Amino acid sequence: MASANDAGYVAQRMPRVLVLDPARPDPAGIDEAVRALREGKIVAFPTETVYGLGARASDARAIDRVFLAKGRPAYHPLIAHVQGEREARAMAASWPPMASLLAGAFWPGPLTVVVDRASNVPAALAGGGPSVAIRAPAHPVAMALLRALGEAVAAPSANRYQGLSPTTAAHVTKELGDAVDLVLDGGPCDAGIESTVVDVRGPAARVLRPGALALAELRRILPQLDAGLPGVAAQDEARASPGMDARHYAPRARLQIAETREAAYAAAGAWQVRGPVGLVVYGAAGGAAPDAPPGVLLRVLPDDPASYARRFYDTLHALDDAGVSCIVVQGVPTGPTGEAWWAIADRLRRAAFQTEGRPPLP
């Protein structure tokens, strides 16, 4: 186990950072995190999707600290992270057969199920709503933390509300500073985007948020899965799932989607007269692409969805850190032929949602 200084981080406001071997996390580091959680502190930790900002799911005051650290509205639910189905059942007023099918097939893994909330679960965890979102993460650090703690951990992504999700510990410290008490650094997250969320309360399971678990895998278990376009919740409305804002997962820079690579190059060149601009395209194995215009920072991502997702947020973080005013992204495949890209398309759509008062794009 190493300290934050060993990792070479530089920041004005730093939480304590423990660097752990992601394959064999040091028990001493896990024990320190458990003590912090039991004292009502908040701990950031890696999952296979993104880094989570954790508090004991039974500790309403600590959950309030999570909302405060993120600047997150109280009506947005958090995901409860558990060891497995037995712990999940204890948080549910009812546990439908579909929940068991999904948990048996995909836990531990990047799947969140939404069920009716048990009365013993704090309302704050669920954003005041009647349901609760639960998953069993697959990352060894997260699994070790849950085993040692012996209870559920409430954890949204460890970033500011509506901002880019963190896939490294450095992203966490950059975004939250000492608003988080402890960061467990288990290296980069493998999937790179959030879990898939499935609501199993109705007669048919329904996808509320596409994510790292592919639709094809879900349909293998639940062929009648409702996978319509993920919804957008109304302002101040209690949500059953995170990630239902019209604008979410957004970089500080403005993000514009261009339908083709050629259109992306043209838009980046037009925007460049206003200042530095980022350009994100994709190609075979993240290979070569035509040179970008002067003043344009080009990033080429792989053309397969899983590899693209793994590098997606990290690429946007890096372009934000470079000070670009706009990021132009080549659109990914959509519709039936682009089903494997569905989660990425969802993230791009929400990140590019235009707020009022912004100048027109060139």
Domains and CATH numbers, the chain: 4-221 (3.90.870.10), 254-351 (3.40.50.11030)
> Residue 238's pLDDT is what?
61
- The residue among 106, 353, 88 whose CA lies nearest residue 217 is 106
If pLDDT is split at 50, 70 and 90, which confidence band does 287 have?
Answer: low
**4-18, 29-43, 152-166, 242-256: which range is least confident on average?**
4-18
pLDDT at position 347: 94
Provide the strand spans (E) within 37-94. 43-46, 51-56, 79-81
- Residue percentage of the chain with pLDDT more than 70: 89
Q: Are 302 and 282 in contact (CB under 8 A)?
A: yes
Here the tokens at position 7 are: 């990792």
Q: Token pair of 209, please?
A: 């948020």
What is the average per-residue pLDDT within 37-58? Answer: 98
Does 160 have pLDDT greater than 80? yes
Question: What order of strands is seen across the sheet that includes strand 182-185?
Answer: 16-19, 182-185, 43-46, 51-56, 153-154, 79-81, 131-135, 111-116, 196-199, 206-209
Residue 139 has pLDDT above 70, yes or no: yes
The rounded distance, in Å, linking the Cα atoms of 232 and 199 is: 15
* Cβ pair 175, 85 in contact under 8 A: no
Distance CA 206, CA 199 (A): 5
Judged against a pLDDT cut of 70, whether residue 165 lies above it is answered with yes
Question: Is the model's pLDDT at 6 over the cut of 60?
Answer: no
Provide the residue type at 102 as one letter. L
Q: What is the pLDDT of residue 240?
A: 75
- Closest Cα partner for 127 from 85, 156, 168, 94? 156
CB atoms near residue 259 (< 10 Å) = 10
AA identity, residue 64: D
Residue 236 has pLDDT above 80, yes or no: no
| Region 235-248 average pLDDT | 67
Choose the weakest-confidence range: 22-31, 68-77, 350-359.
Answer: 350-359
Measured distance CA(197)–CA(208) in Å, rounded: 5
For the chain, the farthest-separated pair of C-alpha atoms sits apart, in whole angstroms, at 59
CB atoms under 10 Å from CB of 62, counted, come to 25
DSSP annotation of 284 reads: G
Q: Measured between alpha carbons, how far is 261 from 102 in angstroms, rounded to an integer?
A: 38
